[in-house]
Amino acid sequence: MEYSQINTITKFGPDDYSLWTLTMPRDQIGQIRQGAPVVEDDMRRVFEEIRSVDYQPESVCNFVLPQSKGLRLFRVDMGEDFAYRNRHNGCSVRGSREEIMAELREVLKGQGYHLYGNAHFQNVDVLETLQKIVEHNTDYYQTDFKYDIEKLREAAADRNAQRHFFWMSRGGGTWCFAEPEVYIRNTSQHNTWNYYGGSKSEHVKTFWIELKGMRDEKVMGDIVEIDYQKHLDYLCTHSFEPAAVEIVFKNPNDVRTFSYQEYDQNFQSIAQRYGSVERVSFRVTDPYALSRAAIEAHGLFWDATESMEIDDYVKRLDRDRLHDYGYTADDLVLTGPLDAEKAVKNGLVCYALSPDGSKELIADRENYQERHYRGALFGMTAEERDTLQYFKQDCTPLFSHEEMREICSLAVQAGMDNNPEKAPLLDRIIHKAECAMSKAEISSALEQEHEFEMEDRE
């Protein structure tokens, strides 16, 4: 049985509240969510609808669950002994209304919920859009995405293939599953999708994808951001047991169907008997019920989403991660650890950030490794981050070293004209040249320019 956390509010007096965070089975939370809410609005409106203990039975709990852009309040009678049976379950905090509201925001954030609308991207280049999310949210194993690219491109090119997929970006990689697979219990896809529930360190972002086909060699479709925790609650009451398994064998090219029990208990002997397995597909007793559950979820996914440009979305994504971490200056762009390492290697300006809002310039690779080991986040200015993109391409330099030396010399010479308007641009050119050239070459260029200057004076 899968469990998750849920929050309930109790009002003892005009400005006396408590927040009780307890653990309950996900299917029970899903049943509460499917009930009729007392109110659906922002946090202040929800708190206005919470009755004092003097006006409602002790057995009634005020459950607060995120929904769309706000919260939903469910008033549920859990039985007279509910509070006693759960007296050691979770933790509770008591305080004023403002204190409990602030605490609830932090608790919901820690549970993986967010209180603003999800984003959607319609009729976009699916692979390009997902690639940008990977670059900003997946710190390690970004190469996982190449398998997702292959799967989505193959499906988009085949008119008879699955059109709906779930996609996940997390700190340590990505996952991409055909939609029906996630709704079938005991499959690796279902288990993997559920695995990251409640994870705070992986900053999981999940999306539902509808493929529209190919256009000019691009995979086109719609992408909808979904609330991962809410979807896990939904899966607890809308998942199906596997009844049969269809297996495609490599050699000879053969397709056979087995009962799930036979497959589960005798998979090794099946492979030995029929050869290497190429593809496994699970079947349920009532495929129409599974389709209905998936279609109903589509409405939940689109509910109160807002259309966004992907560049605006990743900016919001970076900002949220920095603010959740504690760095709120908004003067730097979040930079993943692999990019930070490459920046330091190429002499770019990169900072290690601290939860207290401070930042420290990274002097060298050893300094980077030390801060990375401590779990620090990294940041760069927007201009410096743009320069990093060039070094990430690992391509042939646009200018040779001799040409770069000449550019550096010309920039230094122009800087001696003492034109304030050109100074920032010239400083930027010199900085880029320094990153592209060795220190010896830079010194040589500057010394040569100094000799020219002395000759001019003479």
Can you give the residue ranges of every domain in the chain? Answer: 3-110, 119-240+286-307, 326-392, 401-457
Amino acid 356: pLDDT: 87
Amino acid 435: pLDDT: 66
Amino acid 20: pLDDT: 94
Amino acid 417: pLDDT: 63
* Environment class of 120 (CB within 10 Å of its CB; exposed 0-12, middle 13-18, buried 19+): buried
Q: Do 19 and 100 meet the contact criterion of CB atoms below 8 Å apart?
A: yes
The residue ranges of the chain whose pLDDT is under 50 are 452, 457
Amino acid 451: pLDDT: 53
Cis, peptide link before residue 252, omega less than 30° from 0 = yes
Distance CA 239, CA 154 (A): 27
Cβ–Cβ contacts within 10 Å for residue 217, how many? 7
Closest CA to 208 of 193, 197, 218: 193
Measured CA to CA in angstroms, residue 58 lies from 12, 17, 55, 83, 315 at distances of 11, 15, 9, 9, 46
Return the bridge partners of 319, or none: none
Length of the chain: 458
On the CB side of 92, CA atoms within 13 Å amount to 15
Return the bridge partners of 120, or none: 224, 307
The β-bridge relationship of strands 351-353 and 3-13 is unpaired
Amino acid 298: pLDDT: 93
Long-range contacts, 295-304 (Cβ 8 Å, 24+): 296/238, 297/231, 297/234, 297/238, 298/208, 300/226, 300/230, 300/231, 300/234, 301/118, 301/208, 301/224, 301/226, 302/120, 302/224, 303/68, 304/68, 304/69, 304/117, 304/118
Prediction pTM value: 0.71
Amino acid 106: pLDDT: 81
Structure tokens, 110 = 């820690």
Amino acid 290: pLDDT: 96
